[in-house]
Structure 1
């Protein structure tokens, strides 16, 4: 291909010839899927050019081609839109408080609406509570929550010289700054828990874990007949209590023919954990609506709440409590501070307030 050929193909993407245009087909139809009548969007055109350029770059790297003609071709013009994270999914402070209170009530086996949850139901509620608090109080993704492990959760003692991590067996590992000077004793301050996880792009990061989340995890581990505080324990933080009777599930969890295990060691699949969380929130929403304790808008909000919504809930709550934006970025694992800044609703409001003040003065 020549540069002229590449430019011609770029023009073709913008306006495909009639022989390449046809009705839309579903991905599962097995039939040829031509260009739509209205053509590709500018973003799709740019994506196609970048994909082909990358393919040619690899062919050049392995010496299959002598050069990459696409390197001389510019991307189709696109509009750089304002980054929009679906923060509207986040629960309000009141709704988050209500949800946590309802979870606690069901986990403790309290009578609700004339019915008392059975112990088996309460155990499932405690599993859902542990997952919801881990995502809502630490901002982790559902995949990260599903794969979080106990051996990666340590106590971090916050001191005047920086945090010092304490392992599960009690050995203290001072921060480099503290280790460099043994003259001054470490002053113990607030004790928090820190969880090390591997997120998107295989990047490792550490997130804080609240005392309420640790208490919920302890209760969940008691249901699994496991000691949360046993030294050097290695196991998923959250694991299913009952295993489906399918061959795949039994093989994964090494379960018996009855589909139950006393202490399963395999974690939830991310999709399965998300379904557990969503079903728990849906049931609470229905119960509160029937009791007249929830408005229709709040009910609709909870019904639309997914596992990922709790990550947004953490982001909005952290910013509302004046946590530094760069700290929120590191906890959430965002590659760009621009993404994290979406949670700072006050920034846009300040801009509008300043503009209103400017125009009011301009009007005299």
Structure 2
């Protein structure tokens, strides 16, 4: 039977409650329009499209908790901070709220629970009682009701039976009629109804949680869990699924977020917390070392972080005897080899540790059970190394006394690459290596497989470490072969090996690489463009000032990167040449003042690098701008004379100050706001200020500073400077050293002088910078014989 337009609503009180609320408008004061004053600036770029929202497919327990708090009318910003990965961002919180509500309503409809769908579509603001205006001369509100009236007031159902037995009136018309007869009863009835609806909303939400809530898994896409804006940023950085997010945090450490454009430290910590909260479901946790700065990690913590894997490993964790297995019969293949993540690896044979290698001086000694102890073998040769790994470590330890730490690290890198290649490609000990192996290894260096490559900066103590960051170019291959030839020569001298297979390899002609020094130079035009870009920016920004100073110091001294990083105030030397030709220390008066920088170079050889007058003034201004001197405007001689400043790095770290108080530089006479920031940051502990805010950078960090200086200038330059931008895009920090040598010889400096300034052991190396002289000779020949 067809009912009237209004329907017999009072037969189902639950439906009547929902219908009544749906017909009411949301109070204007409670509307959820975006608050422009509180919208975060973190949301940049275009708004998410409908397709991007549809990719967000998973509802987790956090979303249900967030929506329940919304139903209870808790502050949205606090709910977002507690449950969402976007934090306090109200714009993202509101859009996420609408998405959750849409998913819940759609899920309820799929489950054919249409009552729950209608309940969850009701906004909490619609369940708020409006306070009626007090009557004239009275102060009672609409929510106040005398008990006597309440006792004799019928319910709405009873009123409907008495006044509308045929169900002619609609729900709204019946309510209006009821309000005319009992005006004081409406607010109380609405309060009861609203409370019933709230309980039903929560019950419906709990029921849907059992149906729709999903636990995250590592293979889930980030777009399925995170806000589309955040997922877009992660995907742009190559982070597609949650496993990728775990990997980049594990590999890059606490500052992994620098690889994701638009993501800051706060947002990164929220994502880390989200992964920690769901660690049980993801069946993976972030290791402690990934959340701790590497400088704060102890050796024990690094060793504990290393996870054994069936693959390549750094020299410290390459336990050679662990690879020994039974040698398979001819033509036999094993399941272990087929399942190995290293498909080129052969099955490990007995004697893998090198004890029975054909090139070993003690190869005649039987192996394994009848093999003599290490002590017995040590009697026959100078080293006690029992296998190839121990032999390489002994060689590095012996070389460390005469080499810089950077060179030792380079030697270790070349050696561990070879040992891993022997273990997982050739599968033979170092002593069994042949000339054919050397040739194959040379080709391998130029084109290693993709699973042998990891991003630069991957921590050695992580399972993600790999021997290569990219294929080696020809000069790097030549350097590797040279280092390995020296290593095997030492092992032969130590009577560990009988012959050196690398000694039989032809050495490439060095003149093939002479043109590299000609090409890898910043011309005067390129340098002017680079300096012009950074000069105005360095006036008001401490980071830009440090970048400009590092570029200028590197170009005008020709120091290597490690030498620049180690340079301190205590390395500056002041010599006064008196009028009678004598010399004195920095305390003398009168005469000519000469400045130099004492440098500890390769091979631990110390040299003096004379400084030009313009560079001396630049150093003085830079140090005053950093605020390290006891008094603003101090001269360089006063700064050097202070023994407390001897260990302050010439290129130091930036002071850690709030972003709203970015330090800037100023003239040496004023000390500069950068100096004021440094002094205010640690005014209570001047010694801490000097040692922490101005501690030296690592060579790797300094490389990033200079490389960033190139990159940012190249991106900004264009038009007439397009060629300079192209050169800077290809340049490396070492180009500044080439530029110094070329510039010095072009302006008439003697070859021997440049050799000493650059710290070359051989003058033949310095001669490679003589291409300006070659151009002059060619020009002279053109004049004589015609060009």
Q: What's the TM-score bracket when you normalise by the shorter of the two chains?
A: 0.5 to 0.7
CA distance in 1, matches of 2:572, 2:759: 17
Matching residue of 2:522: 91
Give the number of the structure whose alpha-carbon radius of gyration is greater. 2
Kindly indicate whether residue 682 of structure 2 is the aligned counterpart of residue 280 of structure 1. no
Kindly indicate whether residue 449 of structure 2 is the aligned counterpart of residue 13 of structure 1. no
Matching residue of 1:106: 537
Q: What CA deviation, in whole Å up to 9, does each residue of 1:252-289 have, x standing for no partner? A: xxx99xxxx85423111112122222223333333342
CA distance in 2, matches of 1:348, 1:107: 38
Q: 215, 222, 239: which is aligned to 2:652? A: 239
Q: 312, 315, 337: which is aligned to 2:741? A: 315
C-alpha change, 1:73 and 1:129, in structure 2 (3 Å) is closer
C-alpha change, 1:75 and 1:301, in structure 2 (3 Å) is same
C-alpha change, 1:102 and 1:357, in structure 2 (3 Å) is closer
CA distance in 2, matches of 1:163, 1:126: 38
CA distance in 1, matches of 2:519, 2:480: 26
Larger relative contact order (C-alpha < 8 A, sep ≥ 6)? Answer: 1
CA distance in 2, matches of 1:281, 1:202: 30
CA distance in 2, matches of 1:273, 1:132: 10
Matching residue of 2:560: 141
CA distance in 1, matches of 2:697, 2:479: 36
Kindly indicate whether residue 633 of structure 2 is the aligned counterpart of residue 209 of structure 1. no
Larger deviation, residues 266-275 vs 84-93: 84-93
1:97-176, aligned counterparts within 5 Å? 97-108=528-539, 119=540, 121=541, 123-157=542-576, 164=583, 166-167=585-586, 170-171=587-588
C-alpha change, 1:237 and 1:321, in structure 2 (3 Å) is same
Return 5+ residue gaps in structure 1 as ranges.
Answer: 17-22, 34-40, 109-118, 173-186, 246-254
CA distance in 1, matches of 2:489, 2:703: 37
CA distance in 1, matches of 2:501, 2:732: 44
Matching residue of 2:625: 223
SS at match of 1:238: coil
Kindly indicate whether residue 618 of structure 2 is the aligned counterpart of residue 199 of structure 1. no
Hey, which of these two has a bigger chunk of strand by percent? 1
Report deviation, 1:196.
0.2
Hey, which of these two has a bigger chunk of helix by percent? 2
CA distance in 1, matches of 2:694, 2:605: 25
SS at match of 1:70: coil
C-alpha change, 1:344 and 1:210, in structure 2 (3 Å) is same
C-alpha change, 1:7 and 1:102, in structure 2 (3 Å) is closer
SS at match of 2:545: helix
Q: Is the Cα contact below 8 Å between 1:13 and 1:45 reproduced in 2?
A: no
SS at match of 1:343: coil
Matching residue of 2:696: 267
SS at match of 1:340: helix
C-alpha change, 1:69 and 1:96, in structure 2 (3 Å) is same
Q: Is the Cα contact below 8 Å between 2:526 and 2:724 reproduced in 1?
A: yes
Q: What CA deviation, in whole Å up to 9, does each residue of 1:57-108 have, x standing for no partner? A: 11x3xxxx7xx74389963333433153434221112222343344333333
CA distance in 1, matches of 2:478, 2:650: 44
SS at match of 1:193: strand
CA distance in 2, matches of 1:354, 1:340: 23
CA distance in 2, matches of 1:72, 1:287: 51
TM-score by length of 1: 0.66
> In angstroms, what is the RMSD of aligned CA positions?
4.4
Q: Is the Cα contact below 8 Å between 1:195 and 1:206 reproduced in 2?
A: yes
CA distance in 1, matches of 2:435, 2:705: 48
Matching residue of 2:722: 296
